[in-house]
Each structure stands twice: as structure tokens, then as C-alpha cells.
Amino acid sequence: MILKKFNKDMLWILPMTSQNRSNEFYHQVEYQNQKYAVILSQLRLISSKRLLRKIRTISKGEFKEIKEKIKSFLQKKTIPDVRRRRNRGLGGLSPLLF
């Protein structure tokens, strides 16, 4: 999914998966009765030359919702630890930032 076009050559994109995941790093979308997830944690800068074809367009409301989730995600000071083990010393915060 294209999040932002900077110029004719560079874009921010969010990859999508057909696996149904439900946590704060994924946003669920449905297209032709199939569920997909936008992977919010994998924001990437790519060349527009890597794009092959347009697959679909999402609604403005859905796009706005995804942008708000990205803004919220990027403004967080800590990254939640979604691994199975518990980090007791950091109150559940990820040690990746420390």
C-alpha cells in the first residue's frame, strides 16, 4: 500500500499480507470477501520503479484510519514487546530501545 509519494521516484509503502493477524502492528482490510492485513511496523522507502501494477484503491476513510495508526505508532516513545516471554525488569517494555 502506498502511504506517501515524495516525488516521481520515491514512495513510502506499507506491505500487506493475506495472513489474518490482529495486534497493533496490523490493520485489517477486506477486498472481494478476502481479509488482508496492512503491516504497520514495516514502513519502507522504495523506488517507484519497483511497482508493477495497481491492484486496488481503498476508501479515503480507511486510508485516514491507517495514517492515524501510523502516526500513533511513530509517536510512541516505547515499542510494545509482542514476544511470548515477559520482560519483568522493564514493565513489559521492549529492551530494544534501551
Tens-of-pLDDT digits for all 98 residues of the chain?
898 999 999 999 999 888 887 788 899 988 888 888 999 889 999 999 998 888 888 889 999 999 999 888 778 766 666 665 555 555 555 555 44
Write down all domains in the chain, each with its CATH number in brackets: 2-97 (2.30.30)
Sign for the pseudo-dihedral over CA of 49, 50, 56, 61 = negative
